[in-house]
């Protein structure tokens, strides 16, 4: 089966780089973006320029974030996260590249510097002017006071979740580290991503072009199944559960 073949490929590999999307966190209660019931089937994304230009867009953005707070706060790492953490502890995985913002790779045991967050992190906030970090409770208190998304106390620019929105610059350091990892691995495993959002979706092909074997694990077909050495159209928890070390 695909999972047996994956086991062989993992055993044969020296350097494995996992690349994750929202599908790895659905079993943790966090919805993905494009499946039925996904975030973008319910809400239109708020592009970065709109967030910058409009107080009401910022208010709406924070309303959405606080509406999700119980879900994010309650989420625990799933079988996929735990399998990757097991391979990390075994020294086979140097770091994980993720599009996810939910902090669950860190919660599963990856050191912070070994989680390459291409789209940032939603568990804290940052000023978009000076970069000052803020805890979410600070934003929540200010928001509850007057119903308005707050600005930075230092520079008066808007405070936003520390995530990357459409139209926002990709983080330089993370892009460089993800590039180096993709080119240095001999097995690249794309897990739970529709692989439609660029430039993130370019890393599987980059790894493949640099000589790595490419595995894609996703319930639905992806845009890039045709370039993969192995495609597993299966539930991620089921497919990766066998690789969780006890
Ligand atoms: P998507 O929602 O586009 O894709 C998630 C994929 O995971 C879907 O193809 C699902 O079929 C699959 N999936 C969900 N649960 C699964 C499970 N338990 N087992 C197997 N497969 C499962 O999410 P991403 O590809 O992560 O960026 O989205 C990429 C980016 O689009 C996000 O980082 C976010 C979003 O807009 C920004 O907002 C910048
Ligand atoms: Zn500031």
| Beta bridge mates, 115 | 96
- Cα(52) to centroid of ligand 2, in Å? 13
- 210 pLDDT exceeds 90? yes
- 246 pLDDT exceeds 80? no
pLDDT, one tens digit per residue, over 116-131 is: 999 999 999 999 999 9
Q: In 3D, which of 216, 212, 239 has the Cα closest to residue 21? A: 216
| Beta bridge mates, 19 | 97, 190
Tokens 């045991």, residue located: 109
Sheet bearing 16-20, strands edge to edge: 115-117, 96-98, 16-20, 187-191, 213-217, 230-232
Report angle CA 71, 76, 79 to the nearest 5 degrees. 125
Ligand 1 pocket, mutate which of 19, 20, 27, 33 (most atoms under 8 A from CB): 33
**Helix (H) or strand (E) run with residue 160 in it:** strand 159-163
pLDDT, one tens digit per residue, over 170-206 is: 999 999 999 999 999 999 999 999 999 999 999 999 9
- Cα(221) to centroid of ligand 1, in Å? 12
What is the value of ipTM here, to two decimals? Answer: 0.99
233 lines ligand 1 (CB under 6 A): no
What pLDDT shows up at residue 1?
A: 81
Please name the residue whose Cα sits nearest to atom 13 of ligand 1: 23
The three-state secondary structure class of 245 is coil
């Amino acid at each position: 089966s695909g999972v047996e073949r994956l086991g062989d490929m993992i055993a044969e590999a020296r350097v494995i780089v996992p690349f994750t999307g929202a599908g790895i966190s659905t079993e943790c209660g966090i919805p993905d973006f494009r499946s039925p019931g996904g975030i973008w089937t319910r809400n239109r994304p708020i592009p970065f320029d709109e967030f910058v230009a409009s107080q009401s867009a910022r208010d709406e953005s924070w309303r959405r974030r606080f509406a999700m707070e119980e879900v994010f706060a309650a989420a625990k790492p799933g079988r996929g996260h735990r399998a990757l953490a097991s391979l990390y502890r075994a020294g086979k995985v140097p770091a994980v590249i993720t599009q996810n913002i939910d902090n669950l790779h860190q919660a599963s045991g990856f050191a912070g510097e070994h989680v390459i967050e291409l789209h940032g992190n939603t568990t804290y906030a940052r000023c978009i002017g000076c970069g000052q970090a803020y805890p979410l409770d600070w934003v929540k208190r200010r928001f509850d006071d007057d119903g308005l998304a707050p600005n930075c106390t230092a520079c008066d620019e808007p405070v936003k979740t520390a995530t990357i929105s459409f139209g926002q610059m990709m983080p330089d350091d993370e892009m460089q580290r993800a590039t180096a990892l993709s080119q240095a691995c001999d097995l690249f495993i794309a897990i739970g991503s529709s692989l439609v959002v660029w430039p993130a979706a370019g890393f599987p092909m980059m790894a493949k072009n640099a000589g790595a074997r490419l595995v894609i694990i996703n319930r639905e077909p992806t845009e890039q199944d045709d370039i993969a050495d192995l495609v597993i159209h299966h539930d991620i928890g089921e497919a990766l559960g066998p690789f969780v070390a006890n």
